[in-house]
Structure 1
Amino acid sequence: MSTGFTVIRDNTPASVIPKGAVVAMGNFDGVHLGHRAVIGAALAMGKAHGVPALAVTFEPHPRKFFSPNTPQFRLTDETNKLRLLAATGLAGAVVMTFDKARAGTTAQDFIHHDLIGRLGISGIAVGYDFHFGKGRVGSPSLLVSEAPRLGIEVDVQAHVDIAERPVSSSAIRMALAEGEIADATAMLGGPWFVTGPVIHGEKRGRDLGYPTANLRLDKHCGLKHGIYAVRVGLGSERFDGVASFGRRPTFDNGAPLLEVFLFDFKGDLYGKVLDVAFIGFIRDELKFDTIEALIRQMDDDSARARAALAAAPGAFPRLGVID
């Protein structure tokens, strides 16, 4: 059954692309409040003209193409970005492959061939700082100047500020790197989350009385190592829990791993895909001299996590379903 959110890719036949749509264009990493302002403008434009509104975005992220050897901490991978976009009310997303050909396309060619020729847009919304085309020559001002000749409407959104600081993906990454979960949540408009399958670990948690579901995050994940209050999604079900992200210095100081203990849950999670939303930061990762000291600290962490979660009832990212 169709969910009403369709993903259009480079190989999608032109005949099935809704012509006359308006688009919100951007990289949309995190789909934060600044992105949502652009999306909101496109939705309003589409409603005013009775046409669908779509997102236009790029994969892989252009930074990955231009700096392949530089670690890239993405807030959302492609799938989760689309799940967030699907929950905004957009009719779909156009995912354009960012490769050598795309990087070499001039801004004018992109406008005329991709936006007007292939997509047949009637309007576009962008953020004040969005650039596109070879050499990043394409800009909001170029779109505004071309709009009358092209017969399209252009909406340029100013930056969104929280506490006099502009919301941006880089600011959110910095907040997560510092364990400032409340700041990241405020800028995102909801909790930051990760998704992955539960893998087998060393089974130490069972012996400690805290059996964990383990997830291997992207190697470039810049989240601060430490203990977190989390809310976990398993399909449509939600569970509260406490999680450790880090290298386990008490045991092996190994590769970073997310270890999640679900409160009041019994069952086998191996191979299941979990969404883990970060609700609050509890403490830094520590090394303990004895197992007894570690267990006492884990008991305290759990109590603090329960309190943080009780103060944020229902907090979880709003996610849509992708056709």
Structure 2
Amino acid sequence: MQLVRGLHNLRPHHRGCVATIGNFDGVHRGHQAILARLRERAAELGVPSCVVIFEPQPREFFAPDTAPVRLTRLRDKLELLAAAGVDRVLCLAFNRRLRELSAAEFVNTVLVNGLGVQHLEVGDDFRFGCDRAGDFGFLQQAGLANGFTVEEAATVQLDGLRVSSTGVRNALGLADFTLAEALLGRPFQIAGRVLHGQKLGRQLGAPTANIQLKRKRVPLTGVYLVSIELDGQVWPGAANIGVRPSVKSDGLAHLEVHLLDYAGDLYGRHLGVTFHRKLRDEQRFASLDELKAAIAADIAAARASWPGNHFQ
């Protein structure tokens, strides 16, 4: 899959494609349905498939402190899009200049002059342009005027529940990982690189992998039963994700994972942590001894959950 960052990096050979536009946060089953149709139409027309995304996501630009928490970082999103068979991603910087484009200007600048779109797939709730003035009807008229077709993707439902990024966030907030997995089409996972931390876990009898998150807010907080696939083997463990209120905190979210019975060096490795069950909320402890006892109990709970039942 090819990544093009910014309109200024589009070249003549990028023109001519079937495209879709959106945040694609989580790349859930609703997104996957759009991408499947995108691939079909691209194959029919004999052109590449292209997904247009924004960085930051528009609501993060307008209200960074209250925007929905991301399910996937950009790196994870790109990996999921590649796995879904997308040929090309155009990542647009969402800034004031882009925000001020009218719907007509966006169509002309991005879709017509930039990508030379032949067909466009959009979600049923897609809005775009300054003040979100553009909608499906507007795109249909623009397509007629500029020689591309537009198709509106049908809503994907699961047992009567609309599949959406919001639905996934709500499921995670309730620690309903079964529902989250059903909506995503895969278990929920957070990935990152293992960095050197404060080494406090060793002092507490539970060495942890400190995984870099590169974001202030995460869709989960607390202590969880998790697993990591490492060199072809699945390692169960306990993970704390949050701001670590019992130690000196930098105010950022951290993910710390203790792998049961693992003694190797993980520094520098990029790991994916799969979440299975919530063990408890994140707590502030009055002393390191209390924290140590709680961590020991968390590890015992994780160990008891593993044999023979695969997290059920």
Q: Secondary structure at the match of 1:149?
A: helix
Letter in 2 for 1:302: R
Paired with 2:133 and 2:100, the residues of 1 have a C-alpha distance of 11
- Identity between Structure 1 and Structure 2 (%): 35
Q: Secondary structure at the match of 1:271?
A: coil
The answer to whether the Cα contact below 8 Å between 2:206 and 2:295 also exists between their aligned partners in 1 is no
- What is the aligned-residue RMSD (CA, Å)? 2.6
Letter in 2 for 1:200: H
The 5 Å alignment of 1:1-323 reads: 5-10=1-6, 11-17=8-14, 19-70=15-66, 72-206=68-202, 209-217=205-213, 218-232=215-229, 239-246=235-242, 252=247, 254=249, 256-285=253-282, 289=290, 291=292, 294-305=295-306, 307=308, 309=310
1:31 Cα deviation after fit: 0.8
The answer to whether the Cα contact below 8 Å between 1:233 and 1:275 also exists between their aligned partners in 2 is no
1:72 Cα deviation after fit: 4.5
Letter in 2 for 1:7: L
1:102-137 residue CA offsets vs partner (Å, 9 max, x unmatched)? 111111111122101110011010100011111111
Which deviates the most, 150-159 or 113-122? 150-159
Paired with 1:6 and 1:14, the residues of 2 have a C-alpha distance of 13
The answer to whether the Cα contact below 8 Å between 2:305 and 2:311 also exists between their aligned partners in 1 is no
TM-score normalized with structure 1 length: 0.83
Which deviates the most, 22-31 or 222-231? 222-231
**Is the alpha carbon distance of 1:110 and 1:291 closer, same or farther for their aligned partners in structure 2, counting shifts above 3 Å?**
closer
Q: Which runs of 5+ in 1 are unaligned?
A: 312-323
The answer to whether the Cα contact below 8 Å between 2:30 and 2:156 also exists between their aligned partners in 1 is yes
Q: Which runs of 5+ in 2 are unaligned?
A: none
Higher relative contact order (CA 8 A, sep 6+): 1
1:186-211 residue CA offsets vs partner (Å, 9 max, x unmatched)? 11111222222223344344355532
Paired with 1:107 and 1:77, the residues of 2 have a C-alpha distance of 27
Letter in 1 for 2:299: M
Q: Secondary structure at the match of 2:126?
A: coil
Which deviates the most, 37-46 or 64-73? 64-73
The answer to whether the Cα contact below 8 Å between 1:245 and 1:259 also exists between their aligned partners in 2 is yes
**Is the alpha carbon distance of 1:115 and 1:307 closer, same or farther for their aligned partners in structure 2, counting shifts above 3 Å?**
farther
**Is the alpha carbon distance of 1:52 and 1:216 closer, same or farther for their aligned partners in structure 2, counting shifts above 3 Å?**
closer
Q: Secondary structure at the match of 1:118?
A: coil
Count the aligned residue pairs.
Answer: 304
**Is the alpha carbon distance of 1:156 and 1:263 closer, same or farther for their aligned partners in structure 2, counting shifts above 3 Å?**
same
Paired with 1:172 and 1:56, the residues of 2 have a C-alpha distance of 22
1:222 Cα deviation after fit: 3.1
Letter in 1 for 2:268: G
